[in-house]
Chains A and B, each alone.
Chain A
Amino acid sequence: MLEVAPHIVEKAAQGDREAFKFIYDTFGDFVYRLAWRMLRHEQDAEEVAQDVFLQVYKKLKYFRQESSLKTWIFRIAVNLTLNYRKKMSRNRKRLAAYRDQETEQYQTRRKNMDMFKEDYQKAIDRLLNMLNPEQRICVVLRSIEKMSYEEIAQTLNINVNTVRSRVMRAREKMMSLKEVIMHELR
């Protein structure tokens, strides 16, 4: 259970570096993993994780202890990750190029067999890349981080039914795309 005692949060809000390090130790891996899962790039994920904790440090004095620190940090992490992804795809076009290439390869079932030599796990990563950011974040939070629909809804600030529908669409997509891969692998 990722939680931090209120007195530690208070200390961190007053600038206590040790208390803040404790918060980082508690949530750092999650934030980094989330960024990595969404961006698929180590340096980008590190950059986002740094930005998230700098924002947390700056805004901690405005954080009301009424809500969960975990949800608050996760929300910052999700927002910054999605923004970074947007910025990256707009500025560098790297992600867009990558996704276009993937779509072309999977959807038109071209016989470029190099990618299918990769292991199963990498194929699944590619499947995740095919999902739109909203679907992907729901799948990452639900299937990998094992968060409940309610927690995801709080983190993304959306309705539980919206979470359910995004998870469903994402899984439908993954099932159909995986069939394409399996068909090509045979």
Chain B
Amino acid sequence: MNYDKEKVKQIILTDYLDGRLDADEKRKIDDLIAQHHELQSFYTRAVGCTVKPFEHEREDIVAPVGVWESIEDQLDSLEQRPSVVDRIFQPFVHFWNQPRIVLSGGIVVVFLMFVFFFYQQRQKKVVRYNQEAQIEYFILLVETSSSDKLEETIIETRLEKYFL
């Protein structure tokens, strides 16, 4: 009978040894093992090396009593210690519990900061406006540099008035 030796060996090592084949598939592999000496010895070695050594492994090992005891100790200390979320929100909760005067003071400070921020924004706008005006002025200078109107325009600046 023709068969893919390597594939059958793979099946023996996995599904056959682990009892995952249905009755038909299992019978086919059984027949092949019975007919071919190489497969027979492969199967015997596979069982000897990968199944038998583990047959009595499980019962030997149980968790020592000390494991639960130290888990309990750690659970105790865990329950006494506030969680990360609690630690983050604790100051806010504390602040919220303060007398109203402190809370109102805080609100006033926030309001002042808000006003200051807007004032700063307005100042920035003025500066931006001036910059634009200056750029426009320079463009005008460049455009009129070759024309006869140059002197008239330049005289308008205070700095030039001073030097001229």
A residues near B (Cβ < 8 Å) are 15, 17, 20-21, 24, 28-29, 31-33, 36-37, 42, 46, 49-50, 53-54, 57-58, 120-121, 124, 127, 139, 142-146, 149, 164, 167-168, 171-172, 174-175, 178-179
Cα A127 to Cα B54 in complex, Å, equals 12
Extra inter-chain contacts (8) besides given A54-B74, A143-B50, A179-B45, CB under 8 Å = A28-B67, A46-B63, A57-B75, A57-B78, A164-B15, A168-B13, A171-B50, A179-B49
Cα A120 to Cα B70 in complex, Å, equals 34
**Given known contacts A149-B20, A175-B45, is B61 in contact with A124 (CB within 8 Å)?**
no
Q: How far is the CB of A10 from chain B (nearest CB, A)?
A: 18
**Using a Cβ–Cβ cut-off of 8 Å, how many residues does chain B contribute to the interface with A?**
31
- Chain B residue numbers with a CB within 8 Å of A144 are 54, 57-58
Interface pair B63/A145, CB less than 8 Å apart:
no
Cα A46 to Cα B66 in complex, Å, equals 8
Decide if the interface of chain A is mainly helix, strand, loop or mixed. Answer: helix
- Chain A residue numbers with a CB within 8 Å of B70 are 46, 50
B residues near A (Cβ < 8 Å) are 10, 13-15, 17-18, 20, 45-46, 48-51, 53-54, 57-58, 61-64, 66-68, 70-72, 74-75, 78-79
Cα A171 to Cα B17 in complex, Å, equals 11
28 of the cross-chain contacts (CB-CB < 8 Å) are A17-B75, A28-B68, A29-B63, A31-B63, A32-B61, A32-B62, A32-B64, A33-B61, A33-B63, A42-B64, A46-B64, A46-B67, A49-B63, A50-B67, A121-B53, A143-B50, A146-B58, A149-B18, A149-B20, A164-B15, A168-B13, A171-B17, A171-B49, A175-B45, A175-B49, A178-B49, A179-B45, A179-B49
